[in-house]
Structure 1
Amino acid sequence: MRLFFMGKHGGSHPEENKDRTRNVGITVAVVPKELVFPVSMHIGKPAKPVVEVGDEVKIGTLLAEADGKISAPVHSSVSGKVIKIEKRQTQSGMADCIVIENDGKDTFIDSIKEQEEISDPKVILEKVVSAGIVGMGGASFPTAVKLDPPPGSTIDTLIVNGAECEPYSTSDYRVMLEHTDEIIKGIDVVRKLLPKLKIVYIAVEDNKQEAIRTLSDAVKDFTDITVKTLRTMYPQGSEKNLIKNLTGREVRPGGLPSEVGTLVMNISTVRAVYRAVKLGEPLYQRVISVSGSPVKEPRNLLVRIGTPVESLLHDCGGFKEDPAKILSGGPMMGRALADVSVPIVKAMTAITVLNAKEAEIGEESDCIMCSECINVCPVNLQPILISEAFKRGDVDKAKALGAMDCIECGNCSYICPSKIPLLENIREAKAAIKAQQQKEGA
């Protein structure tokens, strides 16, 4: 079997730590008494609340509507009552949130039911828009925008991303095994939106052999769907690298995949599209891996959006040793959580708990000019130079060096022998560039 992989440079091999949950089937998480819904679970403008304190809601009730094209609506994942609309701690800091008291009845809105077969692309796209689907691999970009490429674009290649290269996480892996049919049906839905589509690649790393076999068997009768095996390397699943490795096409810095006739979608996102169109179901739940050395019973959980992280940790039996750091995501791209009251949002793939030894970064020292951060950067940036420019306060230089093209994979920080927080510095540089752009546009 041919393997598609990045070359000598452009990736790293962090310890996978997937065995803790690889063979643990998806189970349903406990639904807590109180759930918290940030109005911004996506890239773009926050959604606008359309409910008030005291309103009764059901599963699927619209809580906040999209504000413009680059935005996404938010729906309730439980039935109950809106008890607060206030700022709460989220994975991205303090943000406006809608708080719902769960009545425990799990009453659905009437429109969540099996739908008649839909072939009209306009109607399909409207259903994806109204379902509030965003990239579920972590990017959180509104999916409907991806499925409605700019005029003049010709999408002939769809890449369904099942690489899941972040250590610890196995949520997509379990979805591939347990919901294979919905993934294939989701591809069929997406196909109806892309009239020029010629080929579909389902990309999976070679450390997921059972998923490769299961998917290959599921698509054996399709002439336009191929399962491609990727060499296990981090970050093999990054969008631009997938496109380069599977098609030979290169997306220019700052460019979009649609410019080279390609669309990339996470495996769970494709499944969510199917459920939105076939079942009328908004994105109100997702699969999350909860893992790490301190966790007593690591699990893959089907979780309602808005569930506090502490509820999932309780589902996993709590801790067998003191946790030093709790991450939204994995150790490479994940963000440390301020506290465990933070709610689960649409693009969270995992909760990773590290002990003191695993969380130890080491003392920062001066750059030794080894160039390792440059070697492992999958998008050919110079992380140390961007970091140094930002620390000098030269935001324009950081921008000129391509800070905004950083995919925040964390390879540079992982490989740095001087323990320089390169990813953190580049994230701050990107935030400063965005703030500068907004100020200039005001």
Structure 2
Amino acid sequence: MRFKTVQKATFPKHNKSRTHNKAIEKIDAPPIMVFPMSMHLGAPAKPVVSVGERVKSGTMLGESQGFISADILSSVSGEVISIEERDILGAVYTCVIVKNDGQYLEEPYFSEAGNEVAPEMVPQLIKRAGITGMGGATFPTNVKMMPPKDKTIDTIILNGAECEPYSTSDLRTMIEYADEIIEGVRVIDSVFNVDKVYIGIEDNAKEAGEALKKAAEGYDKVEIKVLEAKYPQGSEKQLIENCTGRQVPAGGLPADIGCICSNVGTFQQIYRAVRLGKPMVERVTTISGTPIADPKNLLVRLGTPIDDLIDICGGFKEAPRKVIHGGPMMGKTIKDGATPISKGTTHVTFLTAEEVSAEERIDCIRCSECINVCPVSLQPILISNAYERGEIEKAEQLGAMDCIECGNCSFICPSKIPLLDNIRKAKTAIRQNVKAVQ
């Protein structure tokens, strides 16, 4: 049964057919690996290694700073050859550069891990493993699994609604690692003892639902929710409402309504950290798009430069005009092929000149389409206008910080106004204003 949902949405082409049925391929890492000290939401990590130092897979390269932050671990063994500033997707971060020795020597696995881990140890092991949300938001997972003590968690929600075009990394993870995902759920259930577990998937990923249903046999709390394929079905607040009927309050968190929601791949990593003692050093990433000769779903070690994945996918059939970290709805343009695969790299999309031939921007025609498709009922054009006029406080009053950055507004705008880009810039300016006041 498919659950039809009512939130505002758009229906971009899925463009998933070239990788939908392709099994995950594990690949070796290249000779030079790049580790930004921010692969997560929150404060960047602080480098704790020196040039010339030998490291192993699992060695801490960067230590988390503050409550909302995450450790950065090496995914290979080798030598630290540089610590330098680099532009990563439009922001400058300190990066640790490691020369891979090809031996993949590993740090000892966490001795506290196993089948009888005390509930209070679970967030600690998740933190040590460096796990963040793997759906793209990269919120530190250990923080999400430690809600305020006055919040009662009764529902776990797994986000398998892979709504961004081109991406099939979650689909293949659900199909090929269903058992590990369900065991990750059991780990978190051991912490909260919830009443219900929902797994939300779209109706174009029914094989994943079948795999998870089989893996969860006998685990009566689990229910697969097959949802309409639309964008942004995988947005956290929308998914929670569609699975439970509950609404996260404006400015609130899922814990406020008794829920914890994370990507399916995150639960797989939780299983590996808590039961097997393994750090998060790799992830599944889809490499796709019209220019790519042989699109694939790859198991990639974190820190692998994107340039090194192109030959593995057969090179280009034609020269790409645009490369996106993520997809065409929410992704950010990649300007340097040395940009690495990070914890939130669900997919990398390559587009042709014809696909990105941007129509010239014209004045707003007041069609209201951006308002009609905004899933959180904002007025994107008004926020964009306020930002372009330098009225940052006005943008904040209009709810810029409530934007989930889905990109529906930019996608639907017939005037080709960069609504999402302007709203993102407005949010950055608002945060800077807050810091200045403090």
TM-score interval, smaller chain: over 0.9
SS of the residue corresponding to residue 192 of structure 2 reads coil
The 2-side partners of 1:29 and 1:434 are apart by 39
Does the Cα contact within 8 Å between 2:114 and 2:274 map onto a contact in 1?
A: no
% identical aligned pairs? 51
1:32-431, aligned counterparts within 5 Å?
32-111=30-109, 115-195=113-193, 197-431=194-428
* 1:417-436 deviation per Cα after TM superposition (whole angstroms, max 9, x unaligned): 11111001101101110111
The CA deviation string for residues 255-285 of structure 1, in whole angstroms up to 9 with x for no partner, is 1111011111100001011111112111110
In 2, Cα distance between equivalents of 1:339 and 1:208: 33
Query: Are 2:2 and 2:203, in contact at CA under 8 Å, matched by a contact in 1?
Result: no
Give the whole-Å Cα distance in 1 for the aligned partners of 2:90 and 2:125. 28
Cα shift at 1:115 = 4.0
SS of residue paired to 2:424: helix
On the 8 A contact 1:288/1:350 being kept in 2, the answer is yes
After TM superposition, give the deviation of residue 118 of structure 1 in Å. Answer: 2.7
How far the C-alpha of 1:247 sits from its partner, in A, is 1.4
2:119 alignment partner AA? P
Partner of 1:5: 5
CA contact (8 A) 2:164 2:232 kept: yes
Contact 2:75/2:282 (<8 A) preserved: yes
CA displacement at 1:91 relative to structure 2? 2.4
Code of the aligned partner of 1:145: V
Alpha-carbon deviation of 1:113? 8.0
Change (3 A) 1:307 1:114: farther
Aligned letter for 1:176?
Answer: M
Inter-partner Cα distance in structure 2 for 1:259 and 1:124: 21
AA at the equivalent of 1:27: E
CA contact (8 A) 2:88 2:339 kept: yes
Distance in 2, matches of 1:268 and 1:4, equals 25
Q: In structure 1, what is the Cα distance between the partners aligned to 2:351 and 2:81?
A: 34
**Cα distance, 1:114 vs. partner?**
9.9
Residue 122 of structure 1 deviates from its aligned partner by: 1.5
Q: CA deviation at 1:364?
A: 0.7
Cα gap change, 1:100/1:241 in structure 2, threshold over 3 Å: closer, same or farther? same
Asked if the contact 2:132/2:343 (under 8 Å) is kept, the reply is yes
What's the secondary structure of 1:233's corresponding residue?
Answer: coil
* Alignment check: 8 A CA contact 1:114 1:279 kept: no
SS of the aligned residue for 1:192 comes to helix
Q: How big is the alpha-carbon RMSD for the aligned residues of Structure 1 and Structure 2?
A: 1.2
Which residue identity lines up with residue 253 of structure 1 in the other structure? Answer: A
Q: What CA deviation, in whole Å up to 9, does each residue of 1:131-159 have, x standing for no partner?
A: 11111000010000100001200111111
C-alpha displacement of 1:112: 5.9
- Determine if contact 2:113/2:125 at 8 Å carries over to the other structure: no
Structure 1: gaps of 5 or more residues: none
Q: Report if aligned partners of 2:2, 2:228 keep a CA contact under 8 Å in 1.
A: no
1:378 offset after TM fit, Å?
0.7
Matched residues in 2 for 1:206 and 1:407: separation?
23
Q: Note the alpha carbon deviations across 1:21-53, whole angstroms, 9 max, x for none.
A: 001110012310010100111111111111111
